[in-house]
Amino acid sequence: MDETVSIVLFSGTDDKLMSAATLAAGAAALGKPVKIFLQYWGLRAFRADGITGDHGLAPEAGPAGRAAVDAAAKAGQASWVETLRAAKELGEVDIQACSASMDILKLKQSDLDPLVDGVEGVAAFYINAGEGQIVFI
Protein backbone atom coordinates (compact mmCIF):
# COMPACT_ATOMS: atom_id res chain seq x y z
CA MET A 1 0.00 0.00 0.00
CA ASP A 2 1.65 3.22 -1.02
CA GLU A 3 -1.17 5.71 -1.68
CA THR A 4 -0.31 9.09 -0.23
CA VAL A 5 -2.24 10.27 2.82
CA SER A 6 -2.51 14.07 2.94
CA ILE A 7 -3.37 15.78 6.21
CA VAL A 8 -4.43 19.41 6.29
CA LEU A 9 -3.53 20.53 9.79
CA PHE A 10 -5.42 23.74 10.53
CA SER A 11 -5.92 23.41 14.29
CA GLY A 12 -3.24 24.28 16.78
CA THR A 13 -4.32 22.76 20.10
CA ASP A 14 -2.26 19.92 21.54
CA ASP A 15 -5.07 17.34 21.26
CA LYS A 16 -5.61 18.00 17.55
CA LEU A 17 -1.87 18.14 16.90
CA MET A 18 -1.59 14.73 18.61
CA SER A 19 -4.45 13.40 16.48
CA ALA A 20 -2.63 14.50 13.31
CA ALA A 21 0.70 13.09 14.53
CA THR A 22 -0.94 9.74 15.32
CA LEU A 23 -2.56 9.50 11.86
CA ALA A 24 0.73 10.47 10.21
CA ALA A 25 2.77 7.96 12.23
CA GLY A 26 0.32 5.13 11.60
CA ALA A 27 0.33 5.76 7.85
CA ALA A 28 4.14 5.96 7.84
CA ALA A 29 4.37 2.63 9.68
CA LEU A 30 2.16 1.06 6.99
CA GLY A 31 4.55 2.36 4.35
CA LYS A 32 2.27 5.07 3.01
CA PRO A 33 3.82 8.42 2.04
CA VAL A 34 2.40 11.22 4.20
CA LYS A 35 2.03 14.92 3.40
CA ILE A 36 1.09 17.40 6.11
CA PHE A 37 -0.05 20.85 5.02
CA LEU A 38 0.08 23.41 7.85
CA GLN A 39 -2.41 26.26 7.94
CA TYR A 40 -3.22 28.95 10.47
CA TRP A 41 -2.98 27.70 14.09
CA GLY A 42 -1.59 24.35 13.03
CA LEU A 43 1.25 26.28 11.39
CA ARG A 44 1.68 28.59 14.38
CA ALA A 45 2.21 25.58 16.64
CA PHE A 46 5.35 24.72 14.62
CA ARG A 47 7.13 27.97 15.48
CA ALA A 48 10.64 27.08 16.62
CA ASP A 49 10.27 29.23 19.73
CA GLY A 50 7.13 27.50 20.96
CA ILE A 51 6.76 24.03 19.44
CA THR A 52 7.26 22.19 22.74
CA GLY A 53 5.13 24.62 24.76
CA ASP A 54 1.56 24.25 25.95
CA HIS A 55 -0.88 24.80 23.08
CA GLY A 56 -4.02 24.18 25.10
CA LEU A 57 -6.86 21.81 24.23
CA ALA A 58 -10.03 22.12 22.17
CA PRO A 59 -12.81 23.84 24.18
CA GLU A 60 -14.86 20.64 24.49
CA ALA A 61 -12.07 19.07 26.58
CA GLY A 62 -13.15 20.93 29.71
CA PRO A 63 -11.41 20.41 33.07
CA ALA A 64 -11.96 16.61 33.00
CA GLY A 65 -10.41 16.37 29.52
CA ARG A 66 -7.48 18.50 30.63
CA ALA A 67 -6.93 16.20 33.61
CA ALA A 68 -7.08 13.08 31.40
CA VAL A 69 -4.54 14.48 28.92
CA ASP A 70 -2.23 15.61 31.73
CA ALA A 71 -2.41 12.15 33.33
CA ALA A 72 -1.48 10.48 30.01
CA ALA A 73 1.50 12.83 29.59
CA LYS A 74 2.61 12.16 33.17
CA ALA A 75 2.36 8.40 32.53
CA GLY A 76 4.88 8.86 29.73
CA GLN A 77 2.74 9.16 26.60
CA ALA A 78 4.85 10.54 23.78
CA SER A 79 4.11 14.14 22.81
CA TRP A 80 2.88 15.04 19.34
CA VAL A 81 6.32 16.47 18.51
CA GLU A 82 8.07 13.22 19.50
CA THR A 83 5.48 11.17 17.59
CA LEU A 84 5.97 13.24 14.43
CA ARG A 85 9.75 13.08 14.74
CA ALA A 86 9.60 9.28 15.03
CA ALA A 87 7.27 9.12 12.01
CA LYS A 88 9.71 11.20 9.95
CA GLU A 89 12.63 8.97 10.92
CA LEU A 90 10.79 5.86 9.82
CA GLY A 91 8.89 6.80 6.77
CA GLU A 92 8.26 9.31 4.08
CA VAL A 93 6.62 12.21 5.93
CA ASP A 94 6.79 15.61 4.27
CA ILE A 95 5.59 18.68 6.18
CA GLN A 96 4.82 21.84 4.23
CA ALA A 97 3.68 25.24 5.44
CA CYS A 98 0.84 26.96 3.57
CA SER A 99 2.31 30.09 1.99
CA ALA A 100 -0.84 32.17 2.57
CA SER A 101 -0.85 31.31 6.29
CA MET A 102 2.86 32.20 6.44
CA ASP A 103 1.96 35.67 5.11
CA ILE A 104 -0.93 36.18 7.50
CA LEU A 105 1.12 35.14 10.53
CA LYS A 106 4.18 37.07 9.26
CA LEU A 107 6.39 34.01 9.47
CA LYS A 108 9.54 33.07 7.57
CA GLN A 109 10.69 29.48 7.21
CA SER A 110 13.59 30.26 9.56
CA ASP A 111 10.97 30.98 12.28
CA LEU A 112 9.74 27.37 12.05
CA ASP A 113 10.98 24.16 13.63
CA PRO A 114 13.18 22.02 11.32
CA LEU A 115 10.36 19.43 11.27
CA VAL A 116 8.86 21.66 8.57
CA ASP A 117 10.37 20.76 5.19
CA GLY A 118 9.23 23.72 3.13
CA VAL A 119 6.57 26.20 2.08
CA GLU A 120 4.08 25.64 -0.71
CA GLY A 121 0.77 26.88 -2.09
CA VAL A 122 -2.53 25.07 -2.32
CA ALA A 123 -2.05 24.03 -5.97
CA ALA A 124 1.18 22.22 -5.11
CA PHE A 125 -0.62 20.60 -2.18
CA TYR A 126 -3.36 19.21 -4.45
CA ILE A 127 -0.90 18.01 -7.08
CA ASN A 128 1.09 16.15 -4.42
CA ALA A 129 -2.07 14.70 -2.87
CA GLY A 130 -2.94 13.14 -6.23
CA GLU A 131 -5.74 10.61 -5.93
CA GLY A 132 -4.92 9.85 -2.28
CA GLN A 133 -7.04 10.59 0.76
CA ILE A 134 -7.15 14.07 2.26
CA VAL A 135 -7.85 14.46 5.97
CA PHE A 136 -8.69 17.83 7.55
CA ILE A 137 -7.94 18.47 11.20
Partner 1 sequence: MDFKLKVDASGLSCPLPILRATQGIKTLQSGELMEVVATDPGSVKDFAAWASSTGNALVEQDSANGKFRFVLRRK
Sites of contact with partner 1 (CB under 8 A) = 1, 22, 25-26, 28-31, 72, 75-78, 83, 86-87, 89-91
Give residue 40's identity as a one-letter amino acid code: Y
CB of 102 to partner 1, least distance (A): 29
Which CB atom, from 40 or from 91, has the smaller least distance to partner 1?
91
Q: How do the residues of the chain divide into helix, strand and coil, expressed in percent and rounded to 5?
A: 45, 20, 35
Q: Are 115 and 46 in contact (CB under 8 A)?
A: yes
Which CB atom, from 22 or from 99, has the smaller least distance to partner 1?
22
Nearest to 96 by CA among 82, 115, 111, 83: 115
Which CB atom, from 59 or from 76, has the smaller least distance to partner 1?
76
Which CB atom, from 15 or from 120, has the smaller least distance to partner 1?
15
Nearest to 17 by CA among 33, 34, 41: 41
CB of 135 to partner 1, least distance (A): 15
CB of 105 to partner 1, least distance (A): 29
Nearest to 14 by CA among 69, 62, 64: 69
Q: Is the dihedral of CA 16, 77, 23, 99 positive or negative?
A: positive
CB of 107 to partner 1, least distance (A): 29
